[in-house]
Chain A
Amino acid sequence: MNTTLEQAIGQSQHRSLLSRIMSYQVFWVFLAALIACVTLSLVTDTFATERNLFNVTRNFAFVAIIAIGMTTVIASGGIDLSVGASVVLSAVVVGMVMAAGYPFWLAAAAAIGAVLLVGFVNGILIAYVGMPPFVVTLGMLSFARSIALVLSNNKMIYEFGPDQDLLLWIGGGSTFGIPHPLIVMVILAFVMGFVFKWTAWGQHVFAIGGNENAAILTGIPVPMVKVSVYMFSAFTAGITGILMAGWLGGVTTNLGTAMELTVIAAAVIGGANLAGGEGSAFGAVIGALLIEVIRNSLILLGISTFWQGAFIGSFIVLAVAFDRIQKLRGQE
């Protein structure tokens, strides 16, 4: 033994870059999505068209944006089932305020305010009252969607007042050929990737998910962090609601129905651990991408879209199985 203690402490793990990358679930999901894309480009002449790629990227951006919020919640050891309801609430509020003749920015602020309130109530009930996240957000799913129905009286909103063109441009337009939802998603992914790693808030979110008791004992303001996490996930749903209203050019009250399940699937496929403490913004994006590529490929290959659920379900189970194998290996 020639190595001193200092050298041993200073060492990093003896693993090559390749083996480190291969231990990440996100890498394999990314590989699966990449292989699917390449195969589709070769097999069909419709996949690699500008039009189709534009659609794919825009469609998956909606799920990915919320999946980033969901990953934050899951990383803190919680779950948010109310995101789909927040999407429709946000869309209805933005639509109704604009239809009443108010400018877009005011309507967007009102919509974001409404969903932040949803997240705040979720967070308070979970963090301060101590109720289980599953129950609280399930109740909120029902409540918020009901409020959206009451507000709109279940009528479709398709006239958005003086700023209508601006709304349609923000949700459905593109800049430099890149659809706006995709731009929002990329910015959000980079910001949150940075926040998770480099801020105390990010560290605390993952610490709470890892061992909430330890987080409390070390003096982290756990309830406050939890409230902020649910508000953030509601915020991502609110942003998506506004973008979807602009993209569709109309708001119906079935918007975002069952979206929470797709979003949770994207987060889990992307490496978020439902037990808490793990997940990444990049993973959420890749998870959402894989789901959309599967959906798109089934359509292009002429396979019944009824198969979509079977594929997504398989990937969820595969992702969790991969996680199990990693854990078992680590215990050796």
Chain B
Amino acid sequence: MAERLRLTGIGKHFGAIRALHAVSLSIEEGQVLGLMGDNGAGKSTLVKIIAGNFRPSEGEIHLDGEMRDFHHPRDAQNAGIEIVYQDLALCDNLTAASNVFLGRELKRRTGPVRIIDYKTMHRRAGELFAQLKSETRPRDIVRKMSGGQRQAVAIARTLLADAKVVLMDEPTAAISVRQVAEVLELIRRLRDRGITVILISHRMPDVFAVSDRIAVLRRGELVADKATIDSSPEEVTGLITGAIESA
């Protein structure tokens, strides 16, 4: 498998506070990385650096072997890095298809005006949901959807953007057990399509169920980066809390 994303010596300082120090990671295409750590360990800082919200104080980001310097989230998006936010960032009052295409609506020309091409949007959204094997209807209003379907809508947005890397921030927090299974299945679909997924989660069982590798951050430093099958929930818990120094 080809290398998709490489971080070398990433550090981030906010004034005197050192949020991240010398984090180096390499993730292949079609790989799911579980990123774990306690609150304040630097997970969200790292994610924000990859997504272009912050620029690292030091270190480099390579995407598909090419060095990247993101000044703005837009830059990261254009490069193929998409975030699925914890609160999913969906408009409840719009349909699934409208949410998938929000901000990049398809248009067609009729006479002098360019109007939204709902027909094609519904068809395309339907295809994306079919790829995700999610029973989500493009014409339904998001407000009435289950947690799993809402995840499917948010993830379909990343498919539409033809993402290379998808960052998922706590996708399984605050949803029911049945829906968790649905979301984990969605993550596997992304992986099967060769997309690299970085899963940020507190939920140990979910991370072990779906990730190929687990990376653990503690106080801004990477203390572990190993294959999931070589680790155990006990070890990861020890790494997060500091009971185990590194692995």
Instruction: List residues of chain A with CB within 8 A of the CB of B77.
Output: 219
A8 at the interface (CB under 8 A from B): yes
B126 and A9 form a contact (CB under 8 A): yes
Beyond A5-B135, A218-B102, A220-B103, list 13 extra A-B contacts (CB 8 Å).
A9-B135, A10-B126, A12-B137, A197-B116, A203-B102, A206-B91, A207-B98, A213-B87, A217-B89, A218-B89, A219-B77, A219-B104, A277-B91
Say yes or no for A11: interface residue by CB 8 A criterion.
yes
> Chain B residue with minimal CB distance to A221?
B103
B139 contacts the other chain (CB 8 A): yes
Q: Which secondary structure dominates where chain B touches chain A?
A: loop
Q: Give the complex CA separation of A43 and B105 in angstroms.
A: 52
Chain B positions 118 through 144: 1 when the CB is less than 8 Å from some CB of chain A, otherwise 0? 000000001001100101111110011
* Contact for A214 among B89, B126, B136, B137, CB less than 8 A: B89
| Smallest Cβ-Cβ distance to B107: which chain A residue | A200
A314 within 8 Å of B by Cβ? no
| B226 is an interface residue with CB less than 8 A from chain A | no
Do B102 and A277 touch across chains, with their CB atoms under 8 A apart? no
CB distance from B117 to the nearest CB of A (A): 10
Chain A minimum-CB-distance residue to B77? A219
Digit string of B217-238 for contact with A (CB within 8 Å is 1, else 0)? 0000000000000000000000
Asked if A49 CB lies within 8 Å of chain B CBs, one says no
Residues of A at under 8 Å CB distance from B? 5-6, 8-13, 197-200, 203-204, 206-207, 209-211, 213-215, 217-220, 277-278, 330
Q: Is the CB of B176 closer than 8 A to any CB of chain A? A: no
Could you tell me if A200 and B137 are in contact, using CB atoms closer than 8 angstroms?
Answer: no
Q: How large is the interface on B (under 10, 10 to 19, 20 to 34, 35 or more residues)?
A: 20 to 34
Nearest opposing residue in chain A for B140, CB measure: A13
| Cα-based distance from A18 to B77 in the complex (angstroms) | 44
Q: B139: which A residues are within 8 A, CB to CB?
A: 12-13
Bound complex: CA of A203 vs CA of B143, how far in Å? 16
Report the separation of the CA atoms of residues A13 and B139 in the bound assembly, to the nearest whole angstrom.
8
Interface pairs (12), CB distance under 8 Å: A6-B126, A6-B130, A8-B137, A9-B135, A200-B105, A203-B94, A206-B91, A210-B92, A213-B89, A214-B90, A215-B91, A330-B144
Minimum C-beta distance from B126 to chain A (A):
5
CB contacts (< 8 Å) of B25 on chain A: these are none
Does more than half of chain A's interface fall in helix, strand or loop, or is it mixed? Answer: helix
Is B115 at the interface (CB under 8 A from chain A)? yes
Given contacts A219-B74, A277-B91, A330-B144, are A9 and B102 in contact (CB under 8 A)?
Answer: no
- B208 CB–A CB distance under 8 Å: no
Q: Which residue of chain B lies nearest to A209 when distances are taken between CB atoms in the complex?
A: B93
Nearest Cβ in chain A — how far from B7, in angstroms?
23
B133 contacts A214, C-beta separation under 8 Å: no
**B54 on interface, CB distance cutoff 8 Å:** no
Docked complex Cα distance between A278 and B92 (Å): 11
A215 CB contact (under 8 Å) in B88, B102, B137: B102
CA A199 – CA B115 in complex, angstroms? 5
8 Å CB contact of B138 from A9, A215, A218: A9
Write the nearest CB–CB distance from B203 to chain A, whole angstroms: 24
The complex places the Cα of A206 from the Cα of B135 at a distance, in Å, of 25
Do B130 and A199 touch (CB < 8 A)? no
Q: How many angstroms from the CA of A203 to the CA of B97 in the assembled complex?
A: 12
Given contacts A11-B137, A12-B139, contact A206 B94 (CB under 8 A): yes
Q: Which residue of A lies closest to B136 (CB)?
A: A9
A210 touches B93 (CB 8 A): yes
Distance of A215 Cα from B113 Cα, bound (Å): 24
Task: Kindly report which residue of chain B lies nearest to residue A11, judged by CB atoms.
Answer: B137
CB neighbours (8 Å) of B137 from chain A are: 8-13
Distance of B99 from chain A, by nearest CB (Å): 8
Other-chain residue from A198, A209, A277 in contact with B115 (beta carbon distance below 8 A): A198
Docked pose: A122 CA to B140 CA in angstroms: 35
A220 to B138 CA separation, bound complex (whole angstroms)? 21
Write out the residue numbers on chain B whose beta carbons fall within 8 Å of the beta carbon of A220.
Answer: 102-103
Inter-subunit contact A211/B89 (CB<8 Å): yes
Interface string of B55-73 (1 = CB under 8 A from A): 0000000000000000000
